Structure 1
Amino acid sequence: MISMAVHRNLLRLRGFCMTPTERLLVYPYMANGSVASRLRDRPPAEPPLDWQTRQRIALGSARGLSYLHDHCDPKIIHRDVKAANILLDEDFEAVVGDFGLAKLMDYKDTHVTTAVRGTIGHIAPEYLSTGKSSEKTDVFGYGITLLELITGQRAFDLARLANDDDVMLLDVHAFFVASVLCRGWCSPFPMQLLEIC
C-alpha cells in the first residue's frame, strides 16, 4: 500500500531489508525531524519555527493528505495524523509519514472496526463512537495538528489550557480557520495560546 502513494508530501518507501531476525523498511533521511520535535524538543539555541515555515508545513501536509484521499485508488485513510507523523526534510517541507495504521478504503466499504486505532487527542469523535474511519478521521487529526502547529503545545496540553483558562478550543479553531481563509495568517491571535519563544 505504502509504495502506491507517490507524492512530494508523502514519505516514499525506498526499499526493505529482511534478515532472519529483523525486517526493516528504508526511507529517505528527514534532516529536520518531525513537526512535534521541532515544536517541543528543539535545543534552546535553535530558533522556533517562523510563521512562514509553519504555513508551508500546514499546506504541505494538507497536500499530502489530499493526495491520499483524492488521487489514490482505492483511497488511503492515514488514521494517525499528528505532529509526530509529519516529517520535515532539509528545506522544512512537510512529508506525511508513518502509514502503520493506514487503511485502503473501498468506496463501498461499510466495515466497522472493533479496534479503533490512532493517538489519543487526535482521534475523531465519530471514529471513536462508530468505529468507522473515513477522510473525516484524517481531517480531524489534521485540525488538531494545526492547533499544535500554531501553539507549540501538545493536544493534551491544549485541552488542559482550555480548561484552566476558560478558553474554548473550538473558538480558537474557528478563529484560526477564519484567519487562514481571510489570508490573515499572522492576524491577532489569543496570546496566551501562542508558543512562548
Structure 2
Amino acid sequence: MKSKNTTGGERQFLKVMKMITIAEHQNLLKLIGICITPTERLLVYPYMANGSVASLLRNQGPSQPLLDCPIRRQIALGSAKGLSYLHEHCNPRIIHCDVKAANIFLDDNFEAFVGDFAVSKLINYKDSHIISTVHGTIGHIAPEYLSNGRCSEKIDVYAYGIMLLELITGQKAFDLSRLSNEDDNVMLLDWGLR
C-alpha cells in the first residue's frame, strides 16, 4: 500500500480496510493481519500456493500441474461466486473495478479467491454512481465505463468475461507482442472475435 505520507495513501489504506471488513465470503481473499511501519502499510493475506490465475497461466513450469478443464471450471465458478457476493449481498455493494486473472488467487486446491480491492467502489443500493476517474487495467475495462464513467456491477461482469477468455485461452487481455506477429489485435476480445 502507499505510504502514509504520499498523497491519498492514508485514505486508500482506510478504504481498502473498510471493504475488507465489510466483505466476508469463502471466495474472497481474507485479511489475516496488518503491519504498519513508519514507511509502509502491509496487508497480510493467507499464502496462495498456486499464486494468481495470471501467474499460473503465464509461468507454467514443468513441475506444475496443468490447468485441465475441471480446474478451470472450478476457478471460473469460485471467482463468479465471490463477485456475486460483492454485488448482491454486501451493503453497501462493492464494485471491484479491476477483475482480471492477476487478481484471482489460487490456494493449493485451486480454489479461487477474489482479491486486490485497491480501486474498488462502495455503492449504496439506491444510488447510481458516476465517477470522474476511471480505474482498472487496459483490456479489462468495459467500454461504457470508459465513455460515461458509470460504475455498476456491469463493469465487473464485462471484466469477468475477459478474465474467462484469459482462463480459456491462456492469452493476456492486452498484449502488444501480438503486433509483432502482424496481428493488429492487441486486445484479447478483438483477437478472439476474428
TM-score by length of 2: 0.80
Measure the CA separation in 2 of the matches of 1:158 and 1:35.
20
Give the unaligned 5+ runs of structure 1.
174-192
- Aligned partner of 2:145 among 127, 151, 160: 127
1:34/1:84 contact within 8 Å kept: yes
On the 8 A contact 1:39/1:48 being kept in 2, the answer is no
Report the RMSD for the aligned CA atoms in angstroms.
2.5
Please name the residue that 1:27 is paired with. 45
- Code of the aligned partner of 2:110: F
Q: Is the 8 A contact 1:116 1:127 kept in 2?
A: yes
Q: Deviations over 1:74-102 (max 9, x none)?
A: 11000000000000011100000001111
Q: CA deviation at 1:170?
A: 7.4
Give the direction of change, closer, same or farther, for the CA distance of 1:20–1:156 in structure 2 (3 Å limit): closer
Aligned to 1:75: 93
Q: Provide the residue aligned with 1:65 in structure 2.
A: 83
Q: State the Cα distance separating 1:112 from its structure 2 match.
A: 2.0
- Separation of aligned partners in 2, 1:111 and 1:90: 38
Of residues 126, 142, 155, the one that matches 2:160 is: 142
2:103–2:115 CA contact under 8 A, matched in 1? yes
Q: Aligned partners of 1:93, 1:140: CA distance in 2, in Å?
A: 22
Tell me the amino acid that sits aligned with residue 62 of structure 1.
Answer: A
Counterparts in 2 of 1:143 and 1:159: CA distance versus 1, 3 Å: farther
Report the Cα distance in structure 1 between the residues aligned to 2:59 and 2:115, rounded to whole angstroms.
19
Following superposition, the deviation at residue 128 of structure 1 comes to 0.3
Q: Tell me how far apart the structure 1 counterparts of residues 114 and 27 of structure 2 sit (CA, whole Å).
A: 6
1:145–1:158 CA distance, 2 compared to 1 (3 A): farther
Structure 2: how far apart are the matches of 1:118 and 1:69? Answer: 17
What do the CA deviations read for 1:4-47 (whole angstroms, capped 9, x no partner)? 11111000111212122221111111111000011111223434
What is the TM-score normalised by the length of structure 1? 0.79
Ranges in structure 2 where 5+ consecutive residues have no aligned partner: 1-18
Asked if residue 14 in structure 1 is aligned to residue 14 in structure 2, the reply is no
Contact 1:159-1:169 at 8 Å conserved across structures: no
Go from structure 1 to structure 2 and tell me whether the alpha carbon gap of 1:160 and 1:138 turns closer, same or farther (over 3 Å shift).
same
- Per the alignment, residue 133 of structure 2 pairs with 115
C-alpha distance 71-158 of structure 1, shift in aligned 2 (>3 A): farther
Q: Provide Cα deviations, 1:110-163, integer angstroms capped at 9, x if missing partner.
A: 3421210000000000100011111000000000000010000001249959x9
Q: What residue is the counterpart of 1:90 in the other structure?
A: 108
Aligned-residue offset at 1:108:
3.2
